[in-house]
Structure 1
Amino acid sequence: MRVPEELPFGIGALLGCSITTGVGAVVNTAGVRPGESAVVVGTGGVGLSVVMGLRLVGADPVIAVDLSPERLAVARRFGATHTLDGAHEDVAAWCRRELGGVDYAFEAIGSPKVIETLPDMLAAGGAAVLVGMTATDATGSFNLFDLADQGKRVLGCNYGSSVGEIDIPKLARLYLAGRLPLDELVGRTRPLSEAGAAFDDLRSHTGVRTILEP
């Protein structure tokens, strides 16, 4: 697909997956509107892209949840108004206590245990958006009466409900126009020979995105 010639190589690499998935989850899958509230659980590359998408559409407040203080600090820079340490905070209880529940809860980890907690974070009529990919045979359970009684929804999201040929050029233009701060998502650049070390960083939740160059 065609992108503007001035688009940097590293940014183009990010648009291939995490940005398109995260921003698309907000814009295409959920259709978040200005002033609606959201919580994002998991602030790796995809989760941070969800945060950026929420800022792009004017969502408020935006709560980011992670175990990494470094990633939570980045989420603040990308537009999160609140950050929570998922290891020490009952996120669903916080959302109900502070906000009466949120309009949208995005899960960007792919953890069935976390996904099962999303409906408890929602206000009536809210939607849980499953952005992170679980194992192919993973299952989960919800309080079905709560979903029906409160009109809550569970939305599946594959690749941000995006069409690459349409969405990637749009995201490239938004970046070049200064609407998406994607440069801050690149933690470091490594040669292809250091791919193993880059995966080690990913597994240990170190830094943000790494770009591999030939």
Structure 2
Amino acid sequence: MELKNVVVTIEGYFFYVVVLVMPIFATISVANRLRIKNVRLSVRHGMLAGYPLFPTIYAAVQLACIVVAYAIGDGESILKFLFYLLASAFWFVGAAAAEQRPVTNEGIVLSVNSRKNALLKWGSITDYFHKVKQHYTEYHFFYNTAKTQPNGKKTLIRNVAVVRVQNDQKDAFDAILKTELEPRFEVDPVKIFRGEFKP
């Protein structure tokens, strides 16, 4: 009986935390996404065809619980699971906004909810390649960041950012890359001969 009371108490706190936190998370994520200006393409970066996976699974579980509660005639549980389902909807909206990779005139925003080093500028990209998957294409972008050593010297650290682009957005994404990156990486034999080519 003691264990049951503990479980009920924990579940009660979990209920209020989920119901209160998810709308806040959704509001913050959507607001941060709307702050990003000059967006040319919003790349869907979720694990489920570009959409959030875990909120979808959570919502499916809540729907199943509602069906079971309805079948046994438990009205109180139906109401509780409806609130959980509503929370999962807020979670889905927030995650969909947070997981986007907005492509702007300046570069690719790698994290909507993070302001530090969130923008990968076009000019910072030193190289890139792509891997074609069944339902999406992985783009690997290489860039350098400066790191100060204990002796005061700065060294360049090579980093890579991976962006998953769904098949229905690939053409639009490739068109932007062609405009922003390909002119920098085009190899002109005459420039190589003259020593003028600088990637």
TM range (shorter): under 0.3
Greater strand content: 2
Greater helix content: 2
Q: Which has the larger radius of gyration?
A: 2
TM-score computed with the length of structure 1 as normaliser: 0.21
Greater RCO (Cα-Cα under 8 Å, separation 6 or more): 1
